Amino acid sequence: MSLHTRAKFLLVISIIFGLYSVLWGLAPFSGINFPARLILDAADWPIDNLSSPLDRNTMWLSAIGAGLLAAVSIFLGKIVVPALKEGNKAIVNATILAMTVWYIIDSVGSIAAGVSSNVLFNSIYLALVLIPLLGTKNEAA
C-alpha cells in the first residue's frame, strides 16, 4: 500500500472517529442521547440497557471521552495524515506508541471494571489506526 493510500485510509478513519465522537458526545443531552446510549450499551455487550437513562457520571465521563476522541480525530487527520504522506517516521512511530498506550490503559481498565467486551471494540479501533501506519518504515516518501 502506498503512503498516499495509507494516508487516505487514515483520513477516512479520522473522520469516522470524529463522527463517532459527536454521537458519543450527545450523552449529557437526555432528549437526543439515543446514539450515545447505543454506543455505551454496545461497548458493554449485549445490548440490553437502551431504555435506561444515563446516570450523571456516565454522561460526564462520556463528554470527557468524546472530547478526547474528537481531539484524537483531529490529530490523526491534521498531523498524522500529512506526516504519513511525507513518510515522517518519527510521527508515525509516536502515533503507534500513543495508540498502543491508549489501548493498554483502556483495555486493562475495561477488564478491571467488568466490561471486557470493550476490549473487542478497542481492538477494532486500534487495528483501524495501525493498519495504515505499520509497515511504513521501509517505504520511501
Q: What is the mean pLDDT of the chain?
A: 93
Query: What does the buried/exposed string (b/e) look like for 1-33 if buried means 16 or more CB atoms within 10 Å of the residue's CB?
Result: eebeebbbbbbebbeebbebbeebbbbbeeeeb
Mean pLDDT on 72-95 = 96
Q: Model confidence over 111-128: pLDDT tens digits?
A: 999 999 999 999 999 999
